[in-house]
């Protein structure tokens, strides 16, 4: 999810609402690659796994009424590439959510900033996420969507951090499991920057705010 929710890669103590207003040291100078501490997933294996996911999803949803729901902003890159790998018809929609701040650490309650345009009742819905860490926000989102009575409701996540999990959320399709590190690139941001890196990287330690 984007850095405006509880799945944020910004440390909790650094920002109550996921990083708005943060100014990473040195971010105004140099190249975006200066923010990279190490590359975790290179562009080629990243795209190769997305192609595999496209095959898996196409087989799973063949002959069904598939609606992809992207969670803004982080999932945009992943969702755009993923849907180009699908060999079946699909529709897309988007949601944008924000946490209530520190309370979300315990409650997982979020505020919907942009709701779906489509009615999902009776539809086969696949939520497309960039990353799952604690699972709190996504759990709330899934409860909200389930109440709208879709025919089916599943999750496809590019990345998951099992070490960070506070509540288990069933994920039907997973790209990569990663360690508990602060990651950027391919839609993942720090203070709304570095989403445009074509790979997934660990944020340079000099840019990580103190706890």
Provide the β-strand partners of residue 154.
126
Walk across the sheet containing 66-72 and list its strands: 110-114, 91-99, 66-72, 124-132, 152-160, 173-177
* Helix ranges, 31-96 (H): 43-60, 76-84
Cα–Cα distance for residue pair 40/153, rounded to 1 Å: 30
Active-site residue set: 133
Q: Over the Cα atoms of the chain, what is R_g?
A: 17
Residues whose CB falls within 8 Å of the CB of residue 204, separated by 6 or more in sequence, listed in order: 34, 35, 36, 37
Walk across the sheet containing 200-203 and list its strands: 36-41, 200-203, 183-184
């Amino acid at each position: 999810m984007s850095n405006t929710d509880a799945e944020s890669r910004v440390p909790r103590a650094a920002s109550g609402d996921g990083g708005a207003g943060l100014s990473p040291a040195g971010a105004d100078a140099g190249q975006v690659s200066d923010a990279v501490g190490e590359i975790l997933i290179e562009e080629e294996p990243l795209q190769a796994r997305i192609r595999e996911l496209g095959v898996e999803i196409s087989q799973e949803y063949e002959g069904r009424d598939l609606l992809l729901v992207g969670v803004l902003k982080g999932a945009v890159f992943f969702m755009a590439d993923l849907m180009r790998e699908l060999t079946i018809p699909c529709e897309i929609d988007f949601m944008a959510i924000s946490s209530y701040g520190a309370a979300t650490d315990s409650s997982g309650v979020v505020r919907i900033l942009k709701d779906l345009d489509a009615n999902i009742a009776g539809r086969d819905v696949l939520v497309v996420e960039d990353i799952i860490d604690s699972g709190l926000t996504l759990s709330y989102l899934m409860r909200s969507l389930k109440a709208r009575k879709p025919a089916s409701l599943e999750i496809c996540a590019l990345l998951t951090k099992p070490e960070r999990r506070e509540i288990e959320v069933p994920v039907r399709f997973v790209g990569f499991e990663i360690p508990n590190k602060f990651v950027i690139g391919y839609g993942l941001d720090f203070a709304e920057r570095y989403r445009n890196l074509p790979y997934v990287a660990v944020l340079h330690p000099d840019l990580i705010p103190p706890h």
